[in-house]
Amino acid sequence: MPETKEKRYKWRREGYRENTKGLLMVNTGDGKGKTTAALGVLVRAAGRGMNCCLIQFMKAKNDRYGEHESLEQLGVEIHTMGDGFTWDTKDPAQDIKTSEETWALCVEKMRSEEYDLLVFDELVYVLDYKFLDLEKILSEIKAVREKQPNLHIIATGRNAPPALVEAADLVTEMKEIKHPFHVGIYAQQGIEF
């Protein structure tokens, strides 16, 4: 029987790593799956031994979601910082304060130089609501990426501002075609949370 040759994957080729770099990725759009897609990348990265961190801007800090249970088993650091979903906010001052505190943690993690992948879940929402200054956010991300060219960052949320889209290396728009909520099926454990 002839000896089988190992398939030569791109990432095993000499010089491959020199043609890679950290990516700024944005998952946006009105469809479901923005966070789910980011979590999939987190699972993949953790499986490759990368040091990962998930920071959630809006999900309530006292709630536990399915992703927490799974990602903790993979050694992914998780910070859920929000006051709950604030689509129709009753206290914008509190939402701004929470957003600023959460962004300060993001900056701390980016500057630490300890991570390979950071996911800023729901950051795009707080930018869309103008809870944070877009130019300051983009300036900080740019400075960190210049210092750490291999750091990957994912931001999720609807209505990504054009300047964020322009700054990103990869932008995916989730488009809603059909959603069970519209026929009375509510969010379900293991699917949405």
pLDDT on residue 190: 72
Give tens-digit pLDDT for 9-59.
555 556 656 667 999 999 999 999 999 999 999 999 999 999 999 999 998
Strand partners for 78: 54
Show me where the domains of the chain are located: 21-173
pLDDT on residue 3: 60
pLDDT on residue 71: 94
pLDDT on residue 9: 57
Q: Tokens 């956010």 map to which residue?
A: 137
- In this structure, which CATH number among 3.30.1280.10, 3.40.50.180, 3.40.50.300, 3.40.50.720 belongs to the domain 21-173? 3.40.50.300
Residues of the chain with pLDDT under 70: 1-19, 85-89
